[in-house]
Structure 1
Amino acid sequence: MEDIMFKLFERQSNWTLRQLIQETDQPEQFLKDILKELCVYNRKGTNQGSYELKPEYKKHGDESTPK
């Protein structure tokens, strides 16, 4: 599931929970648990209400992502 999430975040850097549910066809609570591990939630600013990868996972072109 992590691989799927990383591929989605390669397509675009910010996703809402609703978009991720549609893209992955996974239950909301399951996705929230994964997002807690991999992402930060934007509470303010232009991307308010969306998730983006934590800085340690934003390695462009690097296939060896920490687990």
Structure 2
Amino acid sequence: MAILVPLGDLTGLSSLTEVVATGKEQLVPVGPGLLGRVISALGEPLDGEPLSPDGIVGSYPVNAYPPSPL
């Protein structure tokens, strides 16, 4: 048995739905376009405004050590 945490829409899923691991690492966007913004655990802005591609310079793994605050 496995306990799963849904990270998206559950429409059309049931307890009989087969789950297949993607093998992909979960990443969040990083860059100056996020300064002053609040994002969800999935990297989605909570203020309703879209992320500007110009302000995103890369991505960072969710399961990583935090960067130095200095």
Instruction: Give me the TM-score of the superposition, normalised by structure 2.
Output: 0.25
The structure that is helix-richer by fraction is 1
Structure showing greater Rg: 2
**RCO (CA 8 Å, sep 6+): is it higher in 1 or 2?**
2
Instruction: Give me the TM-score of the superposition, normalised by structure 1.
Output: 0.25
